[in-house]
Structure 1
Amino acid sequence: MPRPVLLHCGDDVKWNHELYKQLRAKFDIVRSHSIPRQEFIEALRAKKFGDFEAIYRPFWNTGGEMGNWDDELISLPPPSCCIYASAGAGFDWVDTRLLAKRGILYCNAAAACTESVADAAIWLILSTFRAFTWSSLAARSLNVEKFRDANRNIAAVTHNPNGLSLGIIGLGKIGYRIAQKAHSAFDMRILYNDIRRLPQDVERSVDAKFYSNLDDMLAVSDCVLVATPFGGSKVLNASSISKMKPKSRLVNIARGKLIDEDALVAALESGHLAAAGLDVHYDEPNVNPRLAAMRNVEMLSHTAGASVESHIGFERLGMENCLSWLETGKAITAVNAQWIHAPKL
């Protein structure tokens, strides 16, 4: 019997070479490397890669040059294709429901970057309480007056997070790890809102309190952390931001489109919110200039999950998903399995 075919998109594997040997032993591997979207579309239409069963993309910044996986691309893989395992935690760039309609499992790799994202989230949380950006920019300015201004005035407007409340929107793997760090290191009180309540033993491990109504949690949280996948609509709009506790803080390490940035700007300008920490932005790679000009807003370039350890994990988990599917019929981190119930289109 011929071996199943796997389409490897993007660069060569860099770290998990022994596991890649196992992959090669189980699959015939064909490569698309990194090619423009139209070239990739034409190659699929011409069946250049054959009747592949799996797609493997080990790095988030290579093999993605073909752009979003929308109906144009999803209509093109052969009927034999059953699994797409990709690097990265978020999957707003791929229509997972449409993939499911075609019988294709989509597997992300959030577990591989959990530690890196959680560390960055803690730093952003601390920054919103302690105004690290103001202090850092003043020091880097080499301006004596700016240095003195920060040195003399920051203490009057900053706080320690110890004992304060952290309201987490989405207590998944990443949200839970952030809760662990915030609770153990700073004794923060953990509140959370999610589509489902977690088991009591999980809640007890971080002393978490569940809120079924998001507005109720927003009203009492000293800092709100957005850690939920993008589902196609904003989680925090003008109405919900107005319900946040006065002088509270907002941190986003999920996706920029989850927050109404105009409403966030207005809340910061009015003083309703004290500060914000943003790893992600609504119109990446374009950053909102009004937010960028605020010294009470900490910003990163969507790098919370960026570390060598994350890359190693992304690479490994994608291969493990493909091997698990081949050997057991089930993937490890499929995010759309619940929608695969109809015959392949």
Structure 2
Amino acid sequence: LGTADMMESKTSRTRLSSDINVTAERSPNLLEGGFSIDCLFATVPPSLSFFGSTCDPVLSSFRIQNNPTAVTMGKPIVLQLGDDIKWNHDLYKDFTSKFEIRRSYSMPRAEFIQALKDRKFGDFFAIYRPFWNTGGEMGNWDKELISLLPSSCKIYASAGAGFDWVDTETLASRGIIYCNAAAACTESVADGAIWLILSTFRLFSWSAAAARSGDPDRFVDANKNLGAVSRNPNGFSLGIIGFGKIGRRIAEKAHKSFDMKVLYNDVVRMPAELEKPSNATYYKDMSDLLATADCVLVATPFAGKTLLDAAAISKMKRGAKLINIARGKLIEEEPLVAALKSGHLSAAGLDVHYNEPHVNKELIKMRNVEVLSHNAGASLDAHMGFERLGMENIISFAKTGRAVTPVNAHLINKSRL
């Protein structure tokens, strides 16, 4: 089948023999775009062992390199970042039967850049980062790194919910889908948010610090005085900024556990069926939500711009509480400190911080502030899910051209798909 013939239409077919059909496809599958010819897909009867004892019509394929005459046969390459798989061994066994795995382990940035320049990992079609705490040693995925990716790369599936460390727009410009794993940590992050809600209303961090100090005077102070300034969260209003899957799960838990009145702000109103579990009320204008909610919780991705600066914090209801389980840079900390000192805000709960891993020295002194080490989503359940979901994204994309949890699909030029 000639190159020109295959460029004439999306799909061309020929017969390799009376039993084997071969499809040359500029496909939505596997190695889409970037090549003049993407793949040759062979449909082989089970009775034949052309690709071994079993044959997947998509994954068992001829791969055509930049030279159309250089046809090789093999599995698509996946570049795995970070540590070895720890939990989903059966799925990984299936994964490695479909893909050839190349490893970078934990290369520092300079070494990783040189490896990409030298094409050490080959023409990989996918990047897989199964863990959040390893595989990120090369630093932010910016234009410098992304420009070095081979044109064969079409999907990057990573652990974690946030993606402020990766330039998803530049990936999209290269026709690369980025997939996060927020779905795997939704429950964990929501539980962490519930803890922060409860702690900011009841001021348990004050009590815990006093008890852990071993100082009888601090113990007595907390024992006698905390009760007069703490509240039960029941019946208060919770304003959530960002009503995605995590935001909605937090809303549902807070509504059902504490009978909180849920308000939310997002770029668009959610369908009624997504509002119903928490009986949520939509606020189109964030300023209106800030002025109304007894507790404001930030659950929106960081898109390079601060969300709550001094002006926004000043609009919050006097005595309100502020919680952040999203990204530290969404909230300016100096205005937050000032609002807490003045009494404009009564408490804050922060899982994330503006300059992680450094925590604001003023905030850690305040007994009405609960601070965590970016652990809201860090449960064993979440880590097992990160590992699994990354593989599921790559398998789905290879077979169907569609990922399970794409973040930037809307940014990719449809002509490339």
Structure 2-normalised TM-score?
0.82
- 8 Å contact from structure 1 (residues 166, 188) kept in 2: yes
Matched, 1:6 2:78: yes
How big is the shift at 1:3?
Answer: 1.8
Task: Work out the number of aligned pairs and report it.
Answer: 344
Matched, 1:341 2:408: no
How big is the shift at 1:343?
Answer: 6.8
Give the letter for the 1:312 counterpart.
M
How big is the shift at 1:140?
Answer: 1.1
Q: Give the structure with the larger helix fraction.
A: 1
Looking at structure 1, the residues matched to 138 and 93 of structure 2 have their Cα atoms a distance apart, in angstroms, of 27
Looking at structure 2, the residues matched to 146 and 277 of structure 1 have their Cα atoms a distance apart, in angstroms, of 22
Report the equivalent of 2:261. 189
Report the equivalent of 1:148. 220
**What do residues 242-267 of structure 1 show as CA deviations (whole Å, max 9, x unaligned)?**
00000000000000000011110111
- Runs of 4+ aligned structure 1 residues displaced above 6 Å come to none
SS in 1 for 2:79: strand
Report the equivalent of 2:250. 178
Report the equivalent of 1:220. 292
Structure 1-normalised TM-score?
0.98
How big is the shift at 1:230?
Answer: 0.4
Report the equivalent of 2:147. 75
Superposition map of 1:1-345 within 5 A: 1=62, 2-341=74-413
Report the equivalent of 2:57. none
**What do residues 5-57 of structure 1 show as CA deviations (whole Å, max 9, x unaligned)?**
11011111111111111111111111111111110000000000000000000
- 8 Å contact from structure 1 (residues 102, 343) kept in 2: no
How big is the shift at 1:342?
Answer: 6.7
- 8 Å contact from structure 1 (residues 103, 342) kept in 2: no
- Report percent identity of matched pairs: 66
Looking at structure 1, the residues matched to 277 and 229 of structure 2 have their Cα atoms a distance apart, in angstroms, of 32
Looking at structure 2, the residues matched to 343 and 300 of structure 1 have their Cα atoms a distance apart, in angstroms, of 45
How big is the shift at 1:147?
Answer: 1.0
| Unmatched segments (≥5 aa) in structure 2 | 1-61, 63-73
How large is the Cα RMSD of the aligned pairs?
0.9
Looking at structure 2, the residues matched to 314 and 12 of structure 1 have their Cα atoms a distance apart, in angstroms, of 13
SS in 2 for 1:19: helix
- 8 Å contact from structure 1 (residues 101, 342) kept in 2: no
How big is the shift at 1:200?
Answer: 1.0
Bigger-Rg structure (1/2)? 2
**What do residues 178-199 of structure 1 show as CA deviations (whole Å, max 9, x unaligned)?**
1111000000000000011101
SS in 1 for 2:341: helix
Give the letter for the 1:76 counterpart.
L
Looking at structure 2, the residues matched to 27 and 145 of structure 1 have their Cα atoms a distance apart, in angstroms, of 63
- 8 Å contact from structure 1 (residues 103, 343) kept in 2: no
> Whose relative contact order is higher, 1 or 2, with alpha carbons under 8 Å and at least 6 apart?
1
| Unmatched segments (≥5 aa) in structure 1 | none
Looking at structure 2, the residues matched to 48 and 31 of structure 1 have their Cα atoms a distance apart, in angstroms, of 10
SS in 2 for 1:216: helix
Looking at structure 2, the residues matched to 329 and 343 of structure 1 have their Cα atoms a distance apart, in angstroms, of 14
